[in-house]
Amino acid sequence: MVNLKTAEEINLIRQSSLLVGKTLAEVAAAIAPGVTTLQLDAIAETFIRDHGAEPGFKGYNGFKHTLCTSVNDVVVHGIPNQTPLLEGDIVSVDCGVKWNGFFGDSAYTFAVGTINNEVRRLLEVTRECLHAGIAQAVQGHRTGDIGFAVQQHAEQHGYGVVRELVGHGVGRNLHEAPEVPNFGKRGTGLLMKEGLVLAIAPMINMGTRNVKQHRDGWTVSTADGKPSAHFEHTVVVREGKAEVLSSFEWIEKILAGKE
């Protein structure tokens, strides 16, 4: 069942989502060759708890960490570990926060040091896919319009769009109806109304769209071993233009300072 959020609920989801953005900025500041994803996870958990909030992923279906950290060919749901990040890696960091009963959810793919131009392009295009999807999250459009826009943009660049994992509603639960695929046909899917809160989350592969599930029950990586990127925002459907509830603003400030 799909539920539309009240203004008060949207305010709470916005607060949670903005805290995710600030948490990802703390992570951004720490990312460097030699740092482990477990260290990033500890930074994120401490930051969230210092704000009186709870990590949204910890305990979800038995997941033990605050972040999903997905390196290079890992698409999503990578488990933080003790392997140091290397110069030239990319790491997709997905974070959820629960605060005052409501979740926020956002993800950003970071470069570790200097990455090659081909991978940099993947990150740029995946981010453009996110914005193409968000542009469709308006009253009167359908969820298939979001998927269509994401898929079109990714495939124009020869990239593969992951089918097995999708965006989703967000609210009192981390994952709510409806599903928001990153592929699809225009004019299909749920008719969206003002107050529908969605996590739009393109997962775009440099090569094949096919993925493999690892035996740890979480990690999903590309079938061909080529890199994958993931950007995600929590947004609310509005008339005319979606409102983005999460923010990359703090991340960008940190990244600009690192250059």
Alpha helix (H) ranges present in the chain?
A: 7-30, 37-50, 117-134, 143-156, 249-258
Residues contributing to the site for Mg ion (CB under 5 A): 105, 199
At 213, which amino acid appears?
Answer: Q
Please, which residue, 26 or 105, has the CB nearer to Mg ion?
Answer: 105
Distance CA(77)–CA(219), nearest Å, equals: 5
Distance CA(99)–CA(9), nearest Å, equals: 11
Minimum distance from residue 11 beta carbon to Mg ion (Å): 20
DSSP code at position 136? T
DSSP labels, 35-78: -BHHHHHHHHHHHHHHTT-EESSTTGGG---SEEEEETTEEE-P
